[in-house]
């Protein structure tokens, strides 16, 4: 294989994730770590609160290796609960606050969560599952509204004042730190097993590739429950001692105002946000000069959008690529040599192969599109309780990403049309199979297929092709409402087209490409509400 310019190899400390907070708090106890609206917390205060949370959870019976669910918006409490659970020896499984009751039930049961820390506004959906949450022994509420069998987080923290969690000696390469769920192309989401070593290694890879400094101020609007926000923003900021300004509800005006107000130096974001900022009528009125650069990931960024943003702001815009299974960062543009339209070069200590999509055996050369295989310290241990999916994805030490890329002669990668059938809605992955299962629950649906439909604002939206049962007069609005009641807002079907038959191969596989090529009318969409806050 032709050698390509490589970033230098790094040293990765074999420590648990919580030790990064311990070390930074010891070094910078008085420095402000987090700004959450009118509230602030120094690194010393953050460590003290998280350790009290850890001691409280241990008193409640949370044991080493137990899964603890976090169902929280971006907030100081999320950070306290996250590091508290990790310091207690638990495995954190974050949940998207937009999930429906049955989606929450699925993840909590699949992960076998022993405890849940949730915001009071989200608890009704948890309570809806009732006794069907078989392993959930403890429910902790952030806020005031709670039931008799639930605990309030602030009470637990008060009761644990002065307490210290029991010491732990974790096997950081083998023991799980987090269990985020990633949508697959076949059915329900899968738990991604990420060790302490995976996460800490990727923090270092990211901090090096993106030149993160102790003096940096992050604007964190990306959700902390997502691996992008959780490990790259929260984890790396804590690692180097940077400050984070949290946003709970995104609007482009608030984003620009907070950057100016707090003199933020870094904005890590996603393509829909770049588009919204580019279209903000009074963008030039906001002083964004404190930003060193803007980093965009999670979905492809159209070149014309990037050019418009840079022209209006004068800011350097860099792209990167990663996935939940890699903690998540794999590729990023070198800041001193950003190539427009490219996702960049490999981060430190990451190897790759590009192989033919048909058989996955023939290695390809420069400017040939094929599936990306990678290996490195950030690659997951496997999928939770799913040996079949793990074996299909991890092949002889290499992770098959399922994403086709093209590498140029300088070692820069560009994303090409995905082999996977996943729909990328505003950076979120939406599984067609999950939506098809929901559609088929309707008694008047005989068959269906879901494909991606290009969308200027969201990147892609789900469109359903549906075969009605004989005699049915089912209409698109009714069917979209039926699905919307069963899935999170970002997964909703945005357009429906009724057809006579779903095209399939002789083996029964849906021929999605044929459907995507059909003439597609403007989608009939339900209101999108505040979904621009998604990442």
Asked whether the predicted pLDDT for residue 81 surpasses 80, the reply is yes
For residues 282 and 312, give the distance between their C-alpha atoms in angstroms, rounded to a whole number.
10
- Answer whether 276's CB lies under 8 Å from 532's CB: yes
* Predicted structure pTM score: 0.86
**For the ranges 294-303, 417-426, 488-497, the one whose mean pLDDT is highest:** 488-497
Q: At what angle do helices 76-87 and 17-27 cross, to 10 degrees?
A: 110
Strands 243-246 and 217-220: parallel
For the chain, give the mean pLDDT: 91
What pLDDT digit, counting tens, does each position of 454-483 carry?
A: 888 888 999 999 999 999 999 999 999 999
Asked whether the predicted pLDDT for residue 523 surpasses 70, the reply is no
Which pLDDT band holds residue 508 (cuts at 50, 70, 90)?
low
pLDDT score at 424: 86
Least confident of 258-262, 327-331, 360-364: 360-364
- The structure tokens listed for 163 are 């307490």
Comparing 188 with 258, which gets the higher pLDDT?
A: 258
For residues 29 and 22, give the distance between their C-alpha atoms in angstroms, rounded to a whole number.
10
Give the strand order in the sheet containing 243-246: 39-42, 32-36, 243-246, 217-220, 266-269, 293-296, 317-322, 329-332, 345-346
- Which residue pairs, CB below 8 angstroms and at least 24 apart, start in 507-516? 510/449, 512/421, 512/432, 512/449, 512/451, 515/449, 515/451, 515/465, 516/451, 516/452, 516/453
For residues 85 and 66, give the distance between their C-alpha atoms in angstroms, rounded to a whole number.
9
**Which DSSP string corresponds to 10-64?**
-------HHHHHHHHHHH-TTSEEEEETTEEEEHHHHHHHHHHHHHHHHHTT--T
What pLDDT digit, counting tens, does each position of 203-255 carry?
A: 999 999 999 999 999 999 999 999 999 999 999 999 999 999 999 999 999 99
For residues 171 and 92, give the distance between their C-alpha atoms in angstroms, rounded to a whole number.
16
Average pLDDT over residues 65-78: 98
Asked whether the predicted pLDDT for residue 420 surpasses 90, the reply is no
- Answer whether 129's CB lies under 8 Å from 101's CB: yes
Which pLDDT band holds residue 525 (cuts at 50, 70, 90)?
very low
Q: Residue 388 CB: number of other CB atoms within 10 A?
A: 8
pLDDT score at 141: 98
**For the ranges 157-161, 230-234, 391-395, the one whose mean pLDDT is highest:** 230-234
Asked whether the predicted pLDDT for residue 130 surpasses 60, the reply is yes
Asked whether the predicted pLDDT for residue 5 surpasses 80, the reply is no
For residue 8, with 0-12 CB atoms within 10 Å meaning exposed, 13-18 middle and 19 or more buried, which class applies? exposed
Q: Kindly list the structural domains of the chain, giving each domain's residue range(s) and its CATH number in brackets, ordered by start.
A: 22-169 (3.40.50.980), 210-315 (3.40.50.980), 424-533 (3.30.300.30)
Which pLDDT band holds residue 419 (cuts at 50, 70, 90)?
low
Asked whether the predicted pLDDT for residue 90 surpasses 70, the reply is yes
Q: Which residues contact 477 (CB under 8 A, 6 or more apart)?
A: 524
What kind and span of H or E run contains 237?
Answer: helix 236-240
Torsion sign across C-alpha atoms 308, 310, 311, 312: positive
Least confident of 54-68, 86-100, 238-252, 499-513: 499-513
Asked whether the predicted pLDDT for residue 451 surpasses 50, the reply is yes
Strands 243-246 and 176-178: unpaired
For residues 100 and 116, give the distance between their C-alpha atoms in angstroms, rounded to a whole number.
16
pLDDT score at 433: 80
Strand blocks (E) in 198-290: 217-220, 243-246, 266-269
What pLDDT digit, counting tens, does each position of 370-383 carry?
A: 999 999 999 999 99
- Answer whether 332's CB lies under 8 Å from 345's CB: yes
What pLDDT digit, counting tens, does each position of 291-311 carry?
A: 999 999 987 788 888 998 999
Torsion sign across C-alpha atoms 432, 438, 441, 444: negative
- Answer whether 106's CB lies under 8 Å from 188's CB: yes
pLDDT score at 509: 66
Q: Which residue reads 């049955």 in tokens?
A: 102
pLDDT score at 535: 28
pLDDT score at 84: 98
DSSP 324: G
Query: Is residue 235 helix, strand or coil?
Result: helix
Asked whether the predicted pLDDT for residue 91 surpasses 60, the reply is yes
Asked whether the predicted pLDDT for residue 268 surpasses 70, the reply is yes
Which pLDDT band holds residue 186 (cuts at 50, 70, 90)?
low
Q: What share of the chain is helix, strand, coil (3-state, %, to 5)?
A: 30, 25, 45
Q: Which residue reads 């098959």 in tokens?
A: 400
Q: Which residue reads 């820390």 in tokens?
A: 117
Average pLDDT over residues 489-498: 94
Q: Which residues contact 250 (CB under 8 A, 6 or more apart)?
A: 221, 273, 530, 532, 533
> Closest Cα partner for 47 from 87, 15, 14, 16?
87
Asked whether the predicted pLDDT for residue 4 surpasses 70, the reply is no
What pLDDT digit, counting tens, does each position of 16-47 carry?
A: 999 999 999 999 999 999 999 999 999 999 99
> Closest Cα partner for 420 from 433, 436, 435, 404?
404
- Answer whether 119's CB lies under 8 Å from 94's CB: no
């Amino acid at each position: 294989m032709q050698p390509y310019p490589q970033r230098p190899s790094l040293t990765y400390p074999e420590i648990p994730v919580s030790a990064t907070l311990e070390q930074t708090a010891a070094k910078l106890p008085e420095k402000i770590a987090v700004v959450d609206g009118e509230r602030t917390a120094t690194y010393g205060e953050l460590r003290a609160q998280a350790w009290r949370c850890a001691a409280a959870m241990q008193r409640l019976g949370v044991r080493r290796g137990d899964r603890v669910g976090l169902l929280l918006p971006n907030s100081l409490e999320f950070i306290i609960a996250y590091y508290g659970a990790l310091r207690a020896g638990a495995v954190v499984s974050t949940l998207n606050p937009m999930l429906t009751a049955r989606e929450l039930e699925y993840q909590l049961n699949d992960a076998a969560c022993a405890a849940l820390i949730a915001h009071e506004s989200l608890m009704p959906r948890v309570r809806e599952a009732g006794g069907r949450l078989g392993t959930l022994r403890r429910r902790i509420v952030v806020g005031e509204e709670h039931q008799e069998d639930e605990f309030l987080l602030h009470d637990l923290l008060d009761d644990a004042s002065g307490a210290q969690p029991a010491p732990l000696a974790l096997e950081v390469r083998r023991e799980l730190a987090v269990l985020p769920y990633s949508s697959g192309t076949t059915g329900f989401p899968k738990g991604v097993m990420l060790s302490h070593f995976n996460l800490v290694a990727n923090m270092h890879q990211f901090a090096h590739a993106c030149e993160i400094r102790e003096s940096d101020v992050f604007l964190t609007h990306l959700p902390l429950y997502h691996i992008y926000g959780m490990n790259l923003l929260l984890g790396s900021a804590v690692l180097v001692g940077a400050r984070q300004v949290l946003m709970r509800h995104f609007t482009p005006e608030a984003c620009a105002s907070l950057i100016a107000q707090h003199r933020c130096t870094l904005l890590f974001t996603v393509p829909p946000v770049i588009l919204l900022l580019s279209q903000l009528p009074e963008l030039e009125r906001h002083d964004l000069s404190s930003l060193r650069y803007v980093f965009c990931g999670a979905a492809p960024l159209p070149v014309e959008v990037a050019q418009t943003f840079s022209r209006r702001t004068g800011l350097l815009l860099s792209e990167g690529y990663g996935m939940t299974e890699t903690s998540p960062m794999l590729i990023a543009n070198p800041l001193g040599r950003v190539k427009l339209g490219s996702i960049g070069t490999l981060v430190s200590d990451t190897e790759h192969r590009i192989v033919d999509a048909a058989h996955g055996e023939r290695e390809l050369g420069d400017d040939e599109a094929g599936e990306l295989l990678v290996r490195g310290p950030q690659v997951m241990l496997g999928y939770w309780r799913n040996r079949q999916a793990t074996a299909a994805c991890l092949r002889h030490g290499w992770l098959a990403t399922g994403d086709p890329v093209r590498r140029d002669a300088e070692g820069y990668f560009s994303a090409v049309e995905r082999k996977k059938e996943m729909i990328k809605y505003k950076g979120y992955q939406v599984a067609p199979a999950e939506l098809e299962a929901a559609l088929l629950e309707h008694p008047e649906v005989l068959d269906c297929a879901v494909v991606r439909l290009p969308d200027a604002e969201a990147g892609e939206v789900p469109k359903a092709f549906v075969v009605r049962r004989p005699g049915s007069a089912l209409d698109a609005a009714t069917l979209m409402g039926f699905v919307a009641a069963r899935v999170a807002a970002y997964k909703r079907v945005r357009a429906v087209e009724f057809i006579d038959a779903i095209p399939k191969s002789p083996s029964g596989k849906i021929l999605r490409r044929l459907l995507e090529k059909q003439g597609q009318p403007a989608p009939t969409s339900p209101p999108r509400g505040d979904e621009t806050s998604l990442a």
